[in-house]
A and B are shown apart, each in its own frame.
Chain A
């Protein structure tokens, strides 16, 4: 375990690895989202109850999954930062947070656009909807704390503690539709062995979900690279100032 981290969590080696991986994940993103959009918009059936509005599912559900995956990234990176004080972990949490926040926002907005024609309302204080709204606020709090202190290390520490405490919300989101009697429908995909979704709808949903995941990995790697370079720039500026003062 620790030798694995010594090997790949070294910033220089991470930069090299990310540079090698990004073209592939970017290409996979384009291919998967391209074919996913084709099936989602042209070659999948309308729902027998919801009609054509069901096509919102193909952008709504993947953004919901990514909103939770993004928060899990932030929480796991925060745990590594707090426990092992790994320098890369703070940068990963900082890089992932705004991306996850964007997906949480997309999930809320596309859900609202789906809810209006189907439920007759843009918003309801339903357990699923409310817990995703809380997720969005946790992201905002995390980003605000990161920049709230003059000492960046203190900000990172405070944000990491918030991220870990807020992680309890992720299973609440997942199981909210089972625990409470929600307006939001329960999961259609995860019922293993008894698929409750038409295979012709499952195909575009899965293509979009894997495509969104590849997109997330690509953007995250680019952003972590950016954070590593920022740290190098800060260190270089500091040493240049010291040289100038001598």
Chain B
């Protein structure tokens, strides 16, 4: 198993590449979803204020 994680000596390059890709993509998905939620809530509040 240790042998696997060492990636033939390239661990310091392979794992950061995967970790950064995962981090950025999860960040993109979560912010897109979260912003949508916030705006849906804001819109509902505004519609309640309409006469």
User: Shortest CB–CB separation between residue B35 and chain A, in angstroms?
Assistant: 5
Flag if B46 contacts A59 (CB, 8 Å): no
From A46, A106, A116, A226, contact of B35 by CB (8 A):
A226
Chain B residue with Cβ nearest A42: B4
Majority secondary structure of chain A interface residues (helix, strand, loop or mixed): helix
Interface residues of B (CB under 8 A from A): 7-10, 13-14, 16-18, 20-21, 24-25, 28-29, 32-33, 35-36, 39-40, 42-43, 46-47, 49-51
Q: A53-B14, A240-B50 are in contact. Are A215 and B25 (CB under 8 A)?
A: yes
Question: Which listed residue (B9, B13, B29, B50) contacts A215, Cβ 8 A?
Answer: B29
Please list the residues of chain A having a beta carbon within 8 angstroms of any beta carbon in chain B.
Answer: 41, 46, 51-53, 55-56, 59-60, 63, 99, 102, 105-106, 109-110, 113-114, 116-117, 215, 218-219, 222-223, 225-226, 229-230, 232-233, 236-237, 240, 243
Say whether A56 contacts B13, CB under 8 Å: yes
- Chain A residues within an 8 Å CB radius of B35: 223, 226
Number of A-B contacts (CB under 8 A): 85
Q: Verify A229–B39 contact, CB threshold 8 A.
A: yes
| B25 and A236 contact, CB distance less than 8 A | no
